[in-house]
Homo-oligomer: A and B are copies of this chain.
């Protein structure tokens, strides 16, 4: 299981400091949606300069996929996100552009219904992100368990939405590929130590 560190709601300089502390224990750097919307491509370029890790830009594309995805891959990103709630045509463009650059695309399943979830089966090479929204209360473990039992996905699966240390054993059991961790690491008193604790558990 890989650890993706999501960094958000800080300056780019502060983001770099946070990533430096967690660096030895993480696999993927995520430029969170808010960080990206605050600073745009500058956030990606600055972080790319300083780190060797794969970088995911959580741009949550809804339309204009060709332009948005190319901007990420041209500026050093390795994975970009598209909303499962967008048009199938949009997701197909994301797939095509990602294949062209030999990069990855992640489909965020926020608020998508059964019908749309079934349509997503054509995207066999996508990483599917099961995402408990920040704006909606809910129990992450039962949300993820229900999702995995309802849809028998063969994709690589990522999970997000307030992940804590105690969630890791379930995610290992369910065969989750990427666990996305934000404030449990970035807002802890000792970022390095918190990241190490997650790393020990995912091993």
**Which A residues fall within an 8 A CB radius of B?**
9, 33-34, 36-43, 59-60, 62-68, 71, 83, 85-87, 89-90, 93, 108, 110-111, 113, 133-136
Contact of A37 with B40 at beta-carbon distance under 8 Å, contacts A63-B135, A87-B111, A90-B135 already known = yes
- B110 and A86 contact, CB distance less than 8 A: yes
Contact of A36 with B33 at beta-carbon distance under 8 Å, contacts A87-B133, A133-B90, A135-B90 already known = no
Question: Which residues of chain B come closer than 8 Å to A85, judged between CB atoms?
Answer: 62, 83, 85, 111
| Alpha-carbon distance between A21 and B125 when the two chains are bound, in angstroms | 45
| Alpha-carbon distance between A40 and B171 when the two chains are bound, in angstroms | 34
Question: Which residues of chain B come closer than 8 Å to A108, judged between CB atoms?
Answer: 62
21 residue pairs from A and B, CB less than 8 Å apart: A9-B67, A33-B63, A34-B67, A37-B40, A37-B68, A37-B71, A38-B71, A40-B40, A40-B42, A60-B60, A63-B110, A63-B135, A64-B135, A66-B135, A83-B85, A86-B135, A87-B110, A87-B136, A89-B133, A89-B136, A90-B135
